[in-house]
Structure 1
Amino acid sequence: MYSFALAQAGTETRPTFWQISHVGEALFYYLAAVAILILLYGVYQRFATYAKGSEDPTERLTDLPGRIAEAAKLVATNEKQFDRDLVAGLMHTFILWGFLTLLIGTTILAIDMDIWTKALGQPSFFVGDFYLAYSLVMDAMGLLFVVGVGVALYRRYWTRNDRLWGKHTSTEDGLFVWTLFFLGVGGYVTEGVRILGTGRPDFETVSFVGWFTADVFEFVGVTESMATAAYPAIWWSHALLALAFVAAIPYAKPFHMISSYANLVTRDENAGARLPRVPEDASPEEIGPSEIEDFSWKQLLDHDACTKCGRCSSVCPAKASGRPLDPRDVILDLKTYREDLEAGERDEVDIVADGGTSVIDAETMESCMSCMACMDACPVDIEHVTQFTEMNRRLTESGQMNKNVEEAVMNVFQKGNTFGDPDRKRPDWTEELDFEVPDARDQEVEYLWYVGDYPSYDERNQHVARSLAKVFEEAGVSYGILYEDEQNDGNDIRRVGEEGLFEMVAEDNIEAFRECEYDKIVCTDPHSYNTFTNEYDQFGFENADSVFHYTQVVENLVNAGELGLSGTELDDTVTYHDPCHLGRYNGEFEAPREVIRATGVTLDEMPRNRSDSFCCGGGGGGLWMDFEEDSKPSEERIREALEDTDAGAGVDRFVVACPMCMTMYEDGRKTGGFEDDIEVTDITELLVEAIDAKGTATDAGTTSAAAD
């Protein structure tokens, strides 16, 4: 009867409440209203919780339209989900766009039924070509949704992807994915039963998945009358599951659909590289979080935005080496603690402390290398490093700093360097050069060279400093150093939580810079480069835009032909390690590579390179601490160079561009038993070898010509 009437009228559409009585229709609207009210109340409660947090020191809502648009682009493209995991990126794209399409389609249907037709009295537009196009798109995108959720279930339960499981994995995680699956499949079952029950009108072939489902039902013996009789029960089961899902959104894992987007809107692009300054009037008790309300509203939002995906955990070098840090667990421990307090299921304890009943143990925070791999991998831009640093500040202010770190900090306070050597010895590395390094305090220079602690005091890195000085001399660069007036840059001092000392050395260095006449600052160490570029302006430094890492300066010299290299001087096979503070922190990946290639070597990339680079283990105070580690990060990285690169054991040199990396990898080469397998070389040393090789070739050519 139904299909015959449609054929007579020539109108393609479908009855929305087919076989549902008017009482049932009214009940559905009532339940939908209740579900939406529960949803709105839950969302209100969530955001009311954020309002209890402290004020965030970073401007989070400036240019709100631009932020919303940028966040929408990140969500729409799924670009963060594709990083390091193509299958997960495709899976999430299918789920996201399938879900959004189904949501939009349902909204269009509601507008037609409840506003356009009933409220405005207009004829339905849910007919003809519009209906056919609608049905085709909904079936196609719904299929992608089901496929995406199916892959998610496969990865979670069949292959058991390790990063999806952890101490916070619970029933709600599986329930969330299964609910999505049953919503998607249930929609097609409902559609197939309706198509079969209405006599399979020809135009419904555009609903190709629903049509196939009807074929399956018919094949197993379901008749038109059976489908008609079963439809109300199937429709209600699907509708109730959908309404229950809507109502549950603010109270369980589905809330990440809202909190994650809000987190992207309010993100700070410089988070981690630029840490917030402690308010000048803050007392020691107010520095770092002591209770949950001490976290800012954005940090509380961070906790709720976590989807438990484990991407941060899977890239964390501290976790990989067996240190007691799992970035995901820290974020979720804080969230669980807050929720337990709100539910009255737990008494208040310290947020972070050395032992005891604190939420986070001090050793966990000490384990962080501040490499920012967790933040780079996080698809919803949780700012782990900022929160970890603030907890380190609490440990520092409460006198619970790691003893080795405390010794390094005291050396900086007393001597201006982490080695504890007199400042008069800082320029001793220059004495082995056969030329004098200019004093930037006495003459105007183009480049004020900030040498740094390790190139000044560490014997291995002093060779790097001398190599860079030779490069500058070869190219005729106008440069000079501060000699004994230079102090520790403070980058890692700040990241272990010693904010007061960081402010002191920053102000002293800025004053030393002001006493000199220069155009630009060049840094040997990426850590110095980062803090001068991103943080010193908090204390009055006005030349942050004129700070460069040495590889950026040398790249310009190479490109300008100032070093006279032909690109054929050396023939080694090398691999290059991206330093966290140069690459992931500041996005400089190409300058070091251009300089390396200019020497003539063959550059074989590490599997984990550029923003995916694996930390050496020295950042965040790691250089000063001793840990029980099952394979140090430096050992793992050298193993990767020798076993996982294309050249494998054919790699002659492990090239670095950071003094801390040099120190960590020289140590890892020894402790890992790689001393006879590979050499650790700084880019400057590679350059000097190329320059020397060029000179040797020139001398040989001159001698040969004279003989002729």
Structure 2
Amino acid sequence: MNAIAQAEVTRETYWGISATEYAVFYLLAAITIFVFLYGVYRRFARYAAGSDDPFQRLDDLSTRISRGAAIVLSNEKQFDRDLYGGLMHAFILWGFLTLLIATAIIAVEQYGTELLLNLTFWEGEFYLAYQFIVDAMGLLFVVGIGMAIYRRYWVRNERLWGRHTSNEDAIFIWTLFGLGVGGFLLEGFRIYATGMPDHEAVSFVGYGLAMVFQAIGLPTVAGTATDPNYTAVSVLGFNAETLHWLSWWSHSLLAFFFIAWIPYAKPFHMLSSFANIITRDEKAGKRLPNVPADLDATNAESIDDFTWKELLDQDACTKCGRCSSICPAKASDRPLDPRDVILDLKSYREDLEAGGEEKPIVADGGGVIDTETMESCMACMACMDACPVEIEHLQSFTRLNRQMTDQGDVSAPMQDVFQNVMQHGNTFGNSPRNRADWADDLEFDLTDAREEQVDYLWYVGDYPSYDERNKRVARSLATILQEADVSFGILFDDEKYDGNDVRRVGEEFLYVELAGHHVETWESCEFDTIVCTDPHSYNTFENEYPEVDFAEFADDPMMPFEYTDQWNEDGEVDVLHWTQAVEELVREGKLELSGDELEYTVTYHDPCHLGRYNDEYEAPRDLIEATGCDLREMPRNRADSFCCGGGGGGLWMDFEEEPKPSEERLREALEDTDAGSSVEKFVVACPMCMTMYEDGRKTGGFEDDLEVVDIAELIVEAIGAQSKANLEMAAD
């Protein structure tokens, strides 16, 4: 190989490579591309064989792609809760994409212009800009990989390690590191061996390495040929040209290996993650897929029951552990790790494809997933919120829960709840005639919305109707609505349980029965808006009842309704959580609150079904501040809120857990807020949260430290304080 001092502002693409090597290179490139395309074909052929997904995933594809690209390129999900991880991934992604584009530019210049059009643009100012950008972004890429190696192997970040951690994780990260560092070494050897042209100074990393080689006196063929007295320090007996040749082939072979390997291992997430983001459901979790009325339909008897999107979810998982680190069930030592459930399903699928033995998907021992694991899920959606690649855990989890219900593997407490709802229409098993007894202590009568037209049809809910602690909240809310002088009424004994949580533990047909009863009842009433006490009710009325195909079930003699329309398909009926409705009343001046009635120091817990599910964070806070309370935020607030433990059936189950989610949250309120132990009241806006935190206050030893109150109770106290102040002013 002869060194050539390059003065022209460009470089030879295949410098130092013979014609034979050139041919071998392209033969290997063709083989690599074939192996890559075959692997991608096999992956997507498997998705095509999956069950149909109930939701539209490819509609308005151009918008989906543009939004998906914005999410990916901005790294917004990676930065959530993890600045270090966000920077690390951004450096790797942007660096990798820049190097990929740079390679494509060389290909276009080499074949798209030089050979076809006898035209070249890879010279002069364009070349200088190209070289600088590639070095800058390549350096970011190497730094990002270095950050990943540091976090994984030096710090040993706990969430990166688990039973699915394997050699492919190490091969992936070290291969990328080898490509990044190898590229710079290759550039440094080339610049040094070609006489260190001045214009190559823009390649500041490669030029810096060339200066190191010059400083140690690395021999070159040119130096030896022109100066017989030339002496230099060789590297393992090699000169710069030989080292460049070795680096070129090492870099090329490593790149070929990586490209060919992509569809067969972890690197495939570079494709599957983008596809997963594009095909995501914007309402994932807050609405669940319906089941057909056909009793022969299966949920998760085999891996073939999973939809193509659920299979794509499995392949999109990067094992990052963000879902694991945020999961309240895992934090409480329940036997659930969201990442492991997704990856267990993937491993089983791949094992079957390799000729492995079939076994139950979910079973009490001996299944792919254990029943106790699925019973541990709180359906809080924290895993989905934290996932950077938009995996819809709750859709797969619900499929598993439905299979458990079909098999009769539901725990005894949940079976009792199902029985209570079927026989009495409520989870307590109490008589429906007693449903409105909570209102007996009110100083006014409640309107029967079945008999009179009202503005607000108030769905009270199970716990405010039957639980003694939550009855106080119901009376507070009734007082607020009465004070605001609005027209409202309830359904009395025609109100039943909303069905949100029994659906999330797998009892789909009971859910449809409840939904059919309610929409049929509502159709016979005259009202403008449905107002819910419970965020769980709000979620299912707002997002799920409109999705139910009632006509498919109406002819079933087991279903107690004849309703056949699509309820609220066009959104003509407004559904609100009570904090949203009352916040409007305060804003309109129908409730007079000056903002200085109360002087408590409080903190507020965002309910999962109001916050993460439905993005309502401000109405509750506006109401708290309207009472005059000093609101201090817990570190985990809004979308980062930590579940009380009551969702997904957790309210009715007994778990041996330490600490309970409710206890951990109360500890956070007293120890981690900036007000610390000065916090007097722990404020909630959900009856289930009230129940869980009252229990946690006792079991955690917090009874003397703070009080658990609902926002409605604060407002009623503030109204009382305002009325007293007005009387005193009138007396004066």
Q: Which band: TM-score by shorter chain?
A: over 0.9
Identity, in percent, stands at 63
Residue aligned with 2:592, SS: coil
For 1:410, the equivalent position in structure 2 comes to 419
For 1:327, the equivalent position in structure 2 comes to 338
For 1:36, the equivalent position in structure 2 comes to 33
Q: Does 1:528 align with 2:537?
A: yes
For 2:281, the equivalent position in structure 1 comes to 268
Residue aligned with 2:447, SS: coil
For 2:448, the equivalent position in structure 1 comes to 439
CA distance in 2, matches of 1:4, 1:35: 32
Cα 1:264/1:65, change in 2 over 3 Å: same
For 1:136, the equivalent position in structure 2 comes to 132
**1:244-278 deviation digits (Å, cap 9, x = unpaired):** 10000001110000000111111111111111110
Gapped regions of structure 2 (runs ≥ 5): 222-238, 551-565
Q: Does 1:98 align with 2:114?
A: no
For 1:670, the equivalent position in structure 2 comes to 698
Task: Output aligned runs, 1:367-406, within 5 Å.
Answer: 367-406=376-415
Residue aligned with 2:649, SS: helix
Q: Does 1:301 align with 2:297?
A: no
For 2:363, the equivalent position in structure 1 comes to 353
Residue aligned with 2:528, SS: strand
CA distance in 1, matches of 2:4, 2:588: 81
TM-superposed CA distance for 1:174, in Å, is 1.3
Note if contact 1:2-1:198 (Cα within 8 Å) is conserved in structure 2. Answer: no
Cα 1:18/1:692, change in 2 over 3 Å: same
Match among 522, 537, 541 for residue 567 of structure 2 = 541
Task: Output aligned runs, 1:570-649, within 5 Å.
Answer: 570-649=598-677
Size of the aligned set, in residue pairs, is 696
Cα 1:691/1:453, change in 2 over 3 Å: same
Q: Does 1:310 align with 2:321?
A: yes
- Give me the TM-score of the superposition, normalised by structure 1: 0.97
Structure 1 consecutive aligned stretches of length 4 or more whose deviation exceeds 6 Å = 1-5
Match among 349, 366, 371 for residue 362 of structure 1 = 371
CA distance in 2, matches of 1:179, 1:220: 28
Note if contact 2:476-2:712 (Cα within 8 Å) is conserved in structure 1. Answer: yes
For 1:507, the equivalent position in structure 2 comes to 516
Q: Does 1:493 align with 2:502?
A: yes
TM-superposed CA distance for 1:545, in Å, is 4.8
Task: Output aligned runs, 1:99-498, within 5 Å.
Answer: 99-118=96-115, 120-225=116-221, 226-283=239-296, 286-344=297-355, 346-355=356-365, 357-498=366-507
CA distance in 1, matches of 2:68, 2:609: 25
For 1:64, the equivalent position in structure 2 comes to 61
Residue aligned with 1:620, SS: coil
CA distance in 2, matches of 1:577, 1:150: 39
Q: Does 1:15 align with 2:12?
A: yes
Residue aligned with 1:56, SS: coil
Note if contact 1:278-1:287 (Cα within 8 Å) is conserved in structure 2. Answer: no
Cα 1:263/1:473, change in 2 over 3 Å: same
CA distance in 1, matches of 2:706, 2:170: 46
Note if contact 2:6-2:194 (Cα within 8 Å) is conserved in structure 1. Answer: no
- Give me the TM-score of the superposition, normalised by structure 2: 0.94
Note if contact 1:580-1:615 (Cα within 8 Å) is conserved in structure 2. Answer: yes
**1:99-121 deviation digits (Å, cap 9, x = unpaired):** 00000000110111122112x14
TM-superposed CA distance for 1:5, in Å, is 6.2
CA distance in 2, matches of 1:338, 1:397: 22
Note if contact 1:533-1:545 (Cα within 8 Å) is conserved in structure 2. Answer: no
The amino acid that maps onto 1:645 is: T
Moved more, 540-549 or 474-483: 540-549
For 1:554, the equivalent position in structure 2 comes to 582
CA distance in 2, matches of 1:217, 1:292: 57
Residue aligned with 1:518, SS: coil
TM-superposed CA distance for 1:214, in Å, is 1.1
CA distance in 1, matches of 2:61, 2:579: 37
Structure having the higher helix fraction is: 1
Note if contact 1:142-1:184 (Cα within 8 Å) is conserved in structure 2. Answer: yes
Cα 1:387/1:5, change in 2 over 3 Å: closer
The amino acid that maps onto 2:353 is: E
RMSD of the alignment, in Å? 1.3
Note if contact 2:456-2:527 (Cα within 8 Å) is conserved in structure 1. Answer: yes
CA distance in 1, matches of 2:689, 2:363: 30
**1:608-628 deviation digits (Å, cap 9, x = unpaired):** 111111100000000000011
CA distance in 1, matches of 2:314, 2:161: 18
**1:371-428 deviation digits (Å, cap 9, x = unpaired):** 0000000011111111111111111111111110010111000000000000010000
TM-superposed CA distance for 1:2, in Å, is 8.8
Note if contact 2:530-2:573 (Cα within 8 Å) is conserved in structure 1. Answer: no
**1:533-562 deviation digits (Å, cap 9, x = unpaired):** 011112432257510000001111111221
Moved more, 54-63 or 667-676: 54-63
Note if contact 2:6-2:195 (Cα within 8 Å) is conserved in structure 1. Answer: no
